[in-house]
Each structure stands twice: as structure tokens, then as C-alpha cells.
Structure 1
């Protein structure tokens, strides 16, 4: 095995057989897991208060839609820049800084009283959201390489669990707390959690071993850099295909159940919950699945499963069959996004994570409006079949590029 420096050798030695208590890698894994959970928790807490903030600002549906673009615009711009920041300052400090900014900025939307002001503060919130997603995924890629175990799905499971907790808590307090009090409470919780987990990241540098240096490293040959960039784009497209489905189901799943299958409001509302629970369960078991099947087979099997599940979910004639389809879709999509981001990071470091994340989260933002346009032109069930189609595309890309990624030393 190639010689490793002092900072890297001790953590790896502990991970491979040392006592668990002083293991820096275990502490880093716990701290990063908390940041993933915090990200999901805060974002979900904001989302459930959008109706109340719309009423507070007096915004029309169109004005609100324009204001909400602030989140997307801020996130996309920051994602393209965060890779450079991670290379210059390290992914750990950038993760902590973005966590602080996300915690502080979530308190701003309920303080606005116009759609314009809301859009401006959402630019800041979106910037923090995009920054923390790239930075913590970059840090997770380094930790996965040091642990030599495919634990990336566990981090994304924490994000999903945090989102479920944030949405559930928001629903419970929506009737008794104003958006201002609620989101200020989330700011306090975010600052406390960042204060607990942040020092762990700041004390320990990213534990990347020399042999896991990204293929796109500036010290590598130009040919490898160009090839790595092409492969990063491929994994970004895979992430886009699967995130498209998550965004589409979040916004249109309940409407499909109520409008097309005459489900009662309570039953329709469980549609996305079933999908999210299945996705979380899939991610919690993702490490074991990756160790058993490998990354390529996990991508292909996940895409094929999601394709079958969404065809059932969108075209089933009964509510219970549609819910079953949503659950199968969640299981299929669960590990594709984290694997795609991990592969992009392994190929090209923080820049690869940034590029793939931008494409992936772009797919999540693209899904809902595309489904809406297609539903207006054709029908909502037919529009939802595009989720199945793109899941199939992700599986096909994963299979056809297996040789290329293996040659790059990542397969």
C-alpha cells in the first residue's frame, strides 16, 4: 500500500482495527451525519411554512413562484463556486460556515412583508443550502475513501430523516406558533447543532489517502482531467434523472392520488410520506447493498426498480397499487443519487461534487414544472411516467459506462 502521511495513517489504522473510542474517522462520520440531518431538517422546516409566509407577504401565486426562484438561483450559483472554495479552504471549514449561514438565514423569510423582499432573502438561504450540500458531500467523499466502505447512502439517509423530522415538527407547531417563532427556533437548533458538530470538522482535516487522489487533480495529466470531467457530467446526468423523480413526487404525488384515483385527502397526503419512508429505508440499507452488489449493479438495479415502481404508481387503477408503486420507486431511487455524487467526487474531488450536485439538484427543481406542463398538455398519469422513463435512462447510462468508470479506477 502506498505510503501515507501522519494525519492520514492514524485514522485509517483506527478504522481498520483500532479501538472505536479515539477513532477520528468515527467522530468525523458522526459530525457529518449531523450536518446532513441538519440540512434536511432546516429545509423541510422552511417548506412547511411557505403557505403562512405567502399569506403574510400578500404575494399572489405568480409572485410567490418568482420569489421561490430565489432559492434555486442562490443554490445553483453557490454550487458552482463551492467546489473552488473547498479546494482552497477545505471542505470541512466550508461545511461549518455554510451550516451557520443556513441556520441564520432560515429566520429571515418570516421577517419580510413583500414578494420582492422574500425573493432577496431566499437568495441568501438558497446560497447557504447549495453551499452546504456541495461542501458536506465533498467531505463525505473523502471520508468514504478513508473508511474504504461505501457509507455514502447513510449520510443521505440522515438527510431524509432530518427532512421527515422537520416536516413533522412543522406540521405539529403550524397551528400554534407563528412562522417567525418557529423559524427562529430552527435557527437556534441549527446553531446549537453546528456548535456541537462543527468543532469536530474544524479539528480534523479531510482524511483523503494519496491513492484516492481524484483523477481530475490538477497534478494529473490533462487527458485524465478531460476524461474525468466527461465522466463527472455522466454521473451528474444520472443524479438529475433520479432527483427529477423526487421533485415530481413531492409536488404531484398527492394530487395524482386525489384527482385521478379519488383518494380521500388523508390518504392522498400519505403518498409522498410512503415514498420518503421507502427511500429512507433504502438508504439505511445502502451500505450493505453496495458492499454486496457493487456500485454499477446498484445503479442499474435501482434504476430498473424505480422504473417499474413508477409505471405502477402512475398507471395503477387503484389507490393501494399506486401507493405500492410509490414505495417501490422510493426503494429504487434511494441509493442512485448518493452513489452518483460519490463517484463524481472520487473522480474529480470537490469540483466533481459541485458539478454533479448542480445537475442533480437542477433535476429536482426541473421535475415539478415539467410534470405540470405535460399534465396540462396530456394527463397527469402520463406526465408521471416520465419519472419512470428517466429512471430507466439512469440505469442504462450506469450500465453502458461501467467499463469507462472501471478503467478510471472507480469501478
Structure 2
């Protein structure tokens, strides 16, 4: 197998742009979902099934994404996966019917998953060579790209552009930016690394996967239900209530952008433990909210606390997997994490139906409490030198 030679700090820029572009693809699609639904005359059930197939395609692709990274290297997997992911936007723009859309959604999910695993595996390798954390900032770039692209797409739609020209224009622009970024990623020199005869033990990886499921359950609940929560619980009109999601999402971006600096000072375990505790406080504030500002403040704290947890968990998974199996390790943890994301909207909705949204968000607080106590797992594969990895347990 291969491992990256040491690279200067500027070597982080191409992979940062790659994360941003990956987020931008998702942001463009998310903003165009209502318009695509209208243009294809889809019912709510039709749209839900199409979105489900996107998730199914992603989960299915995780089964071979790790092997692709191990066999061909993360740079090749990034190049193939990201370019394909962008090109699927063109396929969506040209989709003539619901039946075709179903197949396109499977492909969209699969290409997104392959590029996601490859990017994270590559980021772990860069962290190792630079001997400092970069994962949180890269995930921050993803979030920033998603929000910016969605905002631009909404602005274009407001100006009168239909979904097809918007998706085509976005794909062309993203490809134009992706080419130089991917050249920078692929150009990193590689040398043969020592062969790995035995794979790392599975139990710690499953533990990290369980943490990812808890963190992504809380993320999914915040992303899908924050605006609804502010509207239903505090009585604010539906439009202004969206500030709940805006606060949550903005805090996620800000937290990820400063997360690496915090990890360098206090280490991954302390960062994860404090961040999880902040998410618990945020959930509690939202549950106790008697007015919209208090609820929004709770979701801001929730987003800030959750922001660094998934990057820390992925980084630990990649280190645990080692140079040869980092892609497979991240794919395993990612699959378990996405299971938590899938459960979130259903479980929160069902608990809200049986009790209330306040009670439903107590489950988010409980997930945060579990993350506080299990934060030590984020030290997996760290060394005593650099980056503050030597947290005392």
C-alpha cells in the first residue's frame, strides 16, 4: 500500500476545497428539491421514496468504498467519486420522469458516499503527516460550502431560474473549481508503505461507530426539527421559526472552523467531552424554553457542541484503521453513524406524537450524556507527540 510523504501546510488547501465542493453539491441539491418535485409532479410519498433511495445508494456504496481506497489510494477514489458526484447534478437536471429519478438518486447517494469516505481517509493521512489536527476545519469547509451553495441556489431560483438551468450551471461551475483542487490532491507524492498482515481489532471500531450513531442522531434531530420545534413549542410563525435551524447550522460551521485549534490545545478527548457536555446543555435549554429566543439559544449551543464530534470520531477511526485500512474503518463508522441520522427524524417524530417535542428532545440530551462518558474513544490511535493527543484518562 502507499502512504503520503510529509507535505507543507499549504498541502491542506486542495483537500479543504474538495470538502467544500462536496458540501456544495449537497447544498445545491437540497435547495432544488422543491423545484424538482414540482417539475416532475411528485407526490410527497414519491419524493420521500426518491430521497430514501439516495440514502440506500450511499449505504450500499460504503460496502466497497473502503476497498476502493485501499486498492487504488484515496486520491484516485476522491477524483473518481467527486467528479461523478458533481456530474450526477447534470443527470438530475435532465431527468424526464420519476422512474429515471429513482435510479439517479441511487447513483447520487453512491458517488457521494465514495467521495466522502475517500476524503476523510485522505484527511487522516494528512493529519498524521502534519502531526496536527485538520479534520474539524475540513468538515467546517463542507458545512460552509453546503450553506453557501444552498443560499446561492435559492437566490437564483428567486431571480426566476428553473431547476434544470440552475443544476447545469452549478455543475459546470463546481467542475471548473474541482479540476485544480483535484490536481493538488493527486499531485501529493506517494511512497510504498509497510505491508499490513493483520487488520486492527473490530471491537474499538464498533465502539466508535456507536458514538458516531449517537452524534449523528443528535445532528439529524437538530437539523430536521429545530425550525419545527421553535414554531410548535414557542408559537412563532413558520417563516421566522426557521431561525432555529439557521442558528443551529451556523453554530455547526463556526464550531468546526475553530475545532482544530481547540484540539491542538487540550487534545481530542477533552475536546469531545466538553463539546458533548455543551450539546447536553443546549438540549436542556431548548427543552426548558418558554420563548423563541431561549429555544434558538439552545439550538445554537446544541450545534456548537455537536460540531466537532463527528470529525473527531472519523479521525479516530482512520487512525485506528492505520495506513492500509483507514478507508474501510471510516466506511464502517460512517455506515453506523448514518444509521443514527436515519433514525433521528422518525424517532423524534414518533416520540413527539406520543408525548411532545420537548420530551422528544430529551432523547437528544441523553445521547449527549452518553457521548460525554464515552469520549475517551476519540483517543484511538493517537501518539504522545504533537497535537495534544495525550489526554489523561
- TM-score with structure 2 setting the length: 0.91
Q: Which runs of 5+ in 1 are unaligned?
A: 12-23
Partners in 2 of 1:408 and 1:138 — Cα distance?
Answer: 21
Partners in 1 of 2:341 and 2:26 — Cα distance?
Answer: 14
Describe the shift of the 1:200–1:294 C-alpha distance in structure 2 as closer, same or farther (beyond 3 A).
Answer: same
Deviates more, 1:27-36 or 1:154-163: 27-36
2:85 to 102, 112, 118: 102
For the pair 1:345 / 2:338, whether they are aligned, the reply is no
* Corresponding residue for residue 163 of structure 2: 179
Partners in 1 of 2:383 and 2:22 — Cα distance?
Answer: 35
> What's the CA shift for 1:364?
2.1
SS of aligned partner of 1:271: helix
Residues 276-295 of structure 1 correspond to what in structure 2 (within 5 A)?
276-295=249-268
> What's the CA shift for 1:62?
1.3
Residues 12-411 of structure 1 correspond to what in structure 2 (within 5 A)?
24-175=7-158, 176-205=160-189, 218-220=196-198, 225-226=200-201, 229-348=202-321, 349-399=326-376, 401=377
8 Å contact 1:236–1:356 — kept in the other structure?
A: yes
8 Å contact 1:25–1:143 — kept in the other structure?
A: no
8 Å contact 1:139–1:206 — kept in the other structure?
A: no
8 Å contact 2:282–2:300 — kept in the other structure?
A: yes
Partners in 2 of 1:251 and 1:7 — Cα distance?
Answer: 38
8 Å contact 2:212–2:334 — kept in the other structure?
A: yes
Partners in 1 of 2:228 and 2:380 — Cα distance?
Answer: 41
* Corresponding residue for residue 18 of structure 1: none
Partners in 2 of 1:65 and 1:162 — Cα distance?
Answer: 25
SS of aligned partner of 1:219: coil
Deviates more, 1:107-116 or 1:258-267: 107-116
Q: 1:171-199 CA distances to partner (integer Å, 9 max, x unpaired)? A: 21123111101111111122112211111
> What's the CA shift for 1:28?
3.0
8 Å contact 2:28–2:170 — kept in the other structure?
A: yes
> What's the CA shift for 1:143?
0.2
8 Å contact 1:303–1:336 — kept in the other structure?
A: yes
> What's the CA shift for 1:277?
1.0
> What's the CA shift for 1:120?
1.1
> What's the CA shift for 1:201?
1.6
SS of aligned partner of 1:107: helix
Describe the shift of the 1:86–1:377 C-alpha distance in structure 2 as closer, same or farther (beyond 3 A).
Answer: same
> What's the CA shift for 1:125?
0.6
Partners in 1 of 2:8 and 2:379 — Cα distance?
Answer: 31
Partners in 2 of 1:205 and 1:278 — Cα distance?
Answer: 36
8 Å contact 1:241–1:394 — kept in the other structure?
A: yes
Deviates more, 1:84-93 or 1:381-390: 381-390
Partners in 2 of 1:232 and 1:274 — Cα distance?
Answer: 32
> What's the CA shift for 1:203?
1.8
Q: Which runs of 5+ in 2 are unaligned?
A: none
> What's the CA shift for 1:58?
1.6
8 Å contact 2:74–2:121 — kept in the other structure?
A: yes
> What's the CA shift for 1:113?
4.0
Partners in 2 of 1:230 and 1:304 — Cα distance?
Answer: 25
Q: 1:256-293 CA distances to partner (integer Å, 9 max, x unpaired)? A: 11122111334211111111111111111111110111
Describe the shift of the 1:283–1:403 C-alpha distance in structure 2 as closer, same or farther (beyond 3 A).
Answer: closer
- TM-score with structure 1 setting the length: 0.87
> What's the CA shift for 1:205?
4.1
> What's the CA shift for 1:306?
0.2
Partners in 2 of 1:207 and 1:40 — Cα distance?
Answer: 30
8 Å contact 2:225–2:345 — kept in the other structure?
A: yes
SS of aligned partner of 2:42: coil
Partners in 2 of 1:393 and 1:342 — Cα distance?
Answer: 19
